[in-house]
Structure 1
């Protein structure tokens, strides 16, 4: 049996510590994110409307030489996923029971986000998406229910017809106030989409309390990656975001904009939708974890109930 010489052990330990130190000093440049939305997180056996969402993202910090003089940070991203929408229950036996159109929304998008010295943020995006059978909603929901031994679903024969669309999106945020202790701030937020799948506008104040970073370096706006070398402090905070949206078109409720035969059941959306978002975020060097609850008014007057769901998110940077 080989026995290492005594001097081999301290040399190996020194090399290991050197490697760990060098690796630890390397600033993260990439981030992978995963988010799951589900009304079951409310622990009330609810399974309706926006019943499940799987969202994946990859982000990369831009080269610092590409930044404009007034930019502190810039991040590129690719995101995609699937959202499932059902009626008030996952067991629909008659078409008259469908109070919200049944469909999935399968999408892929790219985005670029700019963070400025005046502590504001601008994000621009392009998103490709499809509804109907091509979005594979029935297959996804059946797989989940079989895997977790849940009830047998029904009603997908009433889903919307397949339709493809492109949306352009924009988001803007600007810090309005932060106290001298830097543990509370208020940010103004506005967003909009224009396209074949979604056309809407939204606005909200965002209240954060806890251990906070500025907008260009916070997990809330996915900006912990940095174009310039920087050591980003850990974060732990609560937030509250009461949002109002004006909806012009929603393909998951009205069907494909360019289709004549949109499906067996379609409705008009509520023009004004109100939603309260409350959440908790913890972030350190490599990881971000978040928990969020959303309480929304009816997306369509046809819906029997208002909707609410929970969201869990995690991201890893390297």
Structure 2
């Protein structure tokens, strides 16, 4: 073979090799930097090594009233999703009707108190047509599992209704500190009764890009149910949100029986996010001990309305390991002799550890 032929042969081999290598290279498609209007927000579930501790405070003074559901507080702890205990994964993996398939599990505990009073708290003998005095002191064990678009939870709630719930001591203790008039009718509150509720919740999260950088909008429909001697009901609701980092949670946490989002949150990117929200929920109620009265003992009670609706508006702000949420709730009439609906406000702070 001559020198020129050798050079041609080597050149041909190099061209063939380079062509084959070029064909073997992956094809890269440059996505547009600004998402199109209505494009779904993509969410990748990353194991979270941090848990979330939160504190929530409800009070009707935030809405300018002092009656019905008058105050409440709740402490929540939600576990990390990284390397959950085997029993948590076993339960959430088997109950597919409650928990979404392939979801990320978390477990949690809660402790709280709710206080209910009639409209006129100056009477030592309360109006029998008005809501009875009652306190509810409870603890909750919760299991949850979630994907990018779905969330399911199972809660076992147990506690005490009646004097053992310390509603009188807490409410009038705060009133003394703030120099408010005392609620005089607590001697007529519901009797002591052990309370047990099993609560189920299923939510979906649909988030979309607006076409404006960093601004998203979304919807969180929900189905909820409770079975127990304190609350027995079924409900359906819808929440609309607009803001940023909407994949961080499933909406703000709330006190049951109101529609509640996730007590945990997991922000993306810089950790900053915010949104405003508005939601509506309807409940069909078969049992509400705070209106129906004690289960096995005679005592104060009123005639319960079987259908109740909530309208909620508020906002949430997140930055790195902290989240602040505020909401205002307007609730329709809950019993037949009630003079219209009721309102209360709620503040919640959460920290990731």
The TM-score with structure 2 as length reference comes to 0.74
Aligned residue number for residue 221 of structure 1: 262
Deviation of 1:223 (Å): 3.7
Map 1:127-276 to 2 at 5 A. 127-176=157-206, 178-181=208-211, 183-214=216-247, 220-225=261-266, 233-257=271-295, 259-261=296-298, 263=299, 265-276=300-311
Map 1:41-56 to 2 at 5 A. 41-42=62-63, 44=64, 46-56=65-75
Deviation of 1:239 (Å): 0.7
Aligned residue number for residue 338 of structure 2: 303
Q: Taking structure 1 as reference, are residues 141 and 73 closer, same or farther at Cα in structure 2, changes over 3 Å only? A: same
Deviation of 1:199 (Å): 0.3
Partner SS for 1:214: helix
Alignment RMSD (CA, Å): 2.3
User: Aligned partners of 2:128 and 2:230: how far apart in 1?
Assistant: 25
1:78 partnered with 2:97: no
Deviation of 1:277 (Å): 0.7
Q: Taking structure 1 as reference, are residues 217 and 276 closer, same or farther at Cα in structure 2, changes over 3 Å only? A: closer
Partner SS for 2:187: helix
Residues 242, 277 of structure 1: 8 Å contact kept: yes
Deviation of 1:70 (Å): 4.9
Residues 75, 112 of structure 2: 8 Å contact kept: yes
Deviation of 1:221 (Å): 2.3
Flag structure 1 segments of 5+ consecutive residues without an equivalent. 1-26
Partner SS for 2:145: strand
Q: Taking structure 1 as reference, are residues 188 and 217 closer, same or farther at Cα in structure 2, changes over 3 Å only? A: closer
Aligned residue number for residue 29 of structure 2: none
User: Aligned partners of 2:322 and 2:167: how far apart in 1?
Assistant: 30
Deviation of 1:231 (Å): 5.2
Residues 128, 301 of structure 2: 8 Å contact kept: no
Deviation of 1:284 (Å): 1.8
The TM-score with structure 1 as length reference comes to 0.82
Q: Taking structure 1 as reference, are residues 243 and 190 closer, same or farther at Cα in structure 2, changes over 3 Å only? A: same
Flag structure 2 segments of 5+ consecutive residues without an equivalent. 1-47, 94-99, 253-260
How many correspondences in the alignment?
A: 283
User: Aligned partners of 2:152 and 2:81: how far apart in 1?
Assistant: 15
Map 1:12-51 to 2 at 5 A. 29-42=50-63, 44=64, 46-51=65-70
Partner SS for 2:67: coil
User: Aligned partners of 1:188 and 1:176: how far apart in 2?
Assistant: 9
User: Aligned partners of 2:294 and 2:115: how far apart in 1?
Assistant: 16
Aligned residue number for residue 291 of structure 1: 326
Residues 217, 232 of structure 1: 8 Å contact kept: no
Higher strand share: 1
Measured against aligned partners, the alpha-carbon deviations of 1:173-201 in whole angstroms (never above 9, x if no partner) come to 11346345461111211111001111001
User: Aligned partners of 2:217 and 2:288: how far apart in 1?
Assistant: 35
Once the two structures are overlaid, the 10-residue window that deviates more, 130-139 or 174-183, is 174-183
Partner SS for 2:184: coil
User: Aligned partners of 2:163 and 2:251: how far apart in 1?
Assistant: 38
Residues 123, 172 of structure 1: 8 Å contact kept: yes
